[in-house]
Structure 1
């Protein structure tokens, strides 16, 4: 079975306090961190033991995972397993990068977000250059807040040409045509993010070849549909995997709508769906 898993454990703490993030600067207790570590290690053990399947894994923590040793270790270990096609994580790139030298860089990838005002520009750019030097597959992006436009332009100019710079539409912000054109100049795929996608009744890969998993192993079709399909660890989810239409009116997050079969994004991101790296033109 070919299966993509979006894993989100209980971790919610982050070292940034972005005003557009509802979980910014939340501090997890020691007990919460221990619970997150145990949940991640359980998931990693399950993934390591599924040698009969071909798995792709994207970690989508509410907090920042790579400042925690157990996330760095898990990505490194999973990257070396032959049945893991891709292992990736969303990150603000505030962690060190030397650990990546021990990973299989043909398998591991990073989805990096730059948050102006939260980290010095030169520090973030330096981390991006370290990734490039290590040969780590990665994308880099920003939230399309109007105040971030100049910083985004600067970043696009300084990044290697082959590194994709993506732009997420800011939640609640309406872009006029001039604003949209400015962001599209930086990211030609910005129009996919600009407006929510009507999805009700449309075919989607989630629930069939893509699933969401939480720290307890509860399986749902995606992060945005709360209906449970079963549990990862007792195998009850497997009998629920089948083609199914989206039950929501709209889908407005990239990690959701990228899987809509009515959009061409699996072709656009061929070979890099999880890390948001477009395929060859």
Structure 2
């Protein structure tokens, strides 16, 4: 059985302070970070012990994880496991990147977000160029605030043309988004329109809870990050017995890490094996 896991431990600290993020510039105590480290190491050991399954894993931390050594070590270990197809992580790319050389790069992927209000474009671009030089698979992106258009346009010009640059739609601002701004975002990201929708999900079949699950630091399983209902714990002996066909109980789904698993959208045809790191199959480099 192939299982996609979205892992989100207790890490909620970040080195950036984006005003729209509730975890911006939050610091945790050494004791709190130690709990997160212990939980992550337990999870990695669990993956190693369950080699009868194939796994694809995306870390979706509330804070910035890669500035913590234990997340780097987790990716190193996971990418070396024969039954892990992919280990990916969402990151602001502010960490040193030497650790990627210890990974199996065929199984490593990064989802990197540019925050123009907290880091210079040149600094972020340098990290992207370094990843590309090191042959690490990654996507880059930015939250679609119109005030960042100049920075976004410049980043697109300066990134290698084969690197996909996605734009996250700010859903609450969409009604006020001008046609000019919308056209601009679509010129940068040809898939921008996919992220502007609140997809009808209630009653629709979803891979969440069947072949994709959300797991927290205690091992608690949920079908996805957006439904609080518990469906078991990975540290229970018969945890996989809880995986089954499920239809969504939410009215809509509007986040990429959620709606990509809605079966009727067939977005695996768009993203293929790049669905976790948000890289489409047939991305056409800009001319």
- TM-score w.r.t. the length of structure 1 is 0.98
**What is the SS of the residue equivalent to 1:5?**
strand
How is 1:1-281 mapped onto 2 (pairs within 5 angstroms)?
1-174=1-174, 175-280=177-282
Give the distance between the partners of 1:136 and 1:257, measured in 2 at CA.
Answer: 26
1:89-128 per-position Cα deviation (integer Å, ceiling 9, x unaligned): 0000000111111111100110000000201111110000
Give the distance between the partners of 2:237 and 2:39, measured in 1 at CA.
Answer: 17
1:169-228 per-position Cα deviation (integer Å, ceiling 9, x unaligned): 114112233322111111011111112111111111100000000000000000000000
Deviation at 1:7, TM superposition (A): 0.2
**What is the SS of the residue equivalent to 2:28?**
coil
Give the distance between the partners of 1:65 and 1:40, measured in 2 at CA.
Answer: 11
1:32-73 per-position Cα deviation (integer Å, ceiling 9, x unaligned): 100000000000000111111101000000000000000000
Q: Is the 8 A contact 2:79 2:86 kept in 1?
A: yes
Q: Is the 8 A contact 1:230 1:236 kept in 2?
A: no
What root-mean-square deviation, in Å, do the aligned CA atoms of Structure 1 and Structure 2 show? 1.0
Deviation at 1:239, TM superposition (A): 1.8
Deviation at 1:232, TM superposition (A): 0.5
Deviation at 1:236, TM superposition (A): 4.3
**What is the SS of the residue equivalent to 1:230?**
strand
**What is the SS of the residue equivalent to 1:178?**
helix
Report how many residues are paired.
281
Q: Is the 8 A contact 2:171 2:196 kept in 1?
A: no
1:212-253 per-position Cα deviation (integer Å, ceiling 9, x unaligned): 000000000000000000000014432221111110011111
Instruction: Identify the range of structure 1 (249-258 vs 167-176) with the bigger mean alpha-carbon deviation.
Output: 167-176
Q: Mark the runs of 5 or more structure 2 residues left unpaired by the alignment.
A: none
Give the distance between the partners of 2:171 and 2:42, measured in 1 at CA.
Answer: 34
1:117-150 per-position Cα deviation (integer Å, ceiling 9, x unaligned): 2011111100000000000000000000111111
* Deviating 4+ runs (over 4 angstroms): none
Q: Mark the runs of 5 or more structure 1 residues left unpaired by the alignment.
A: none
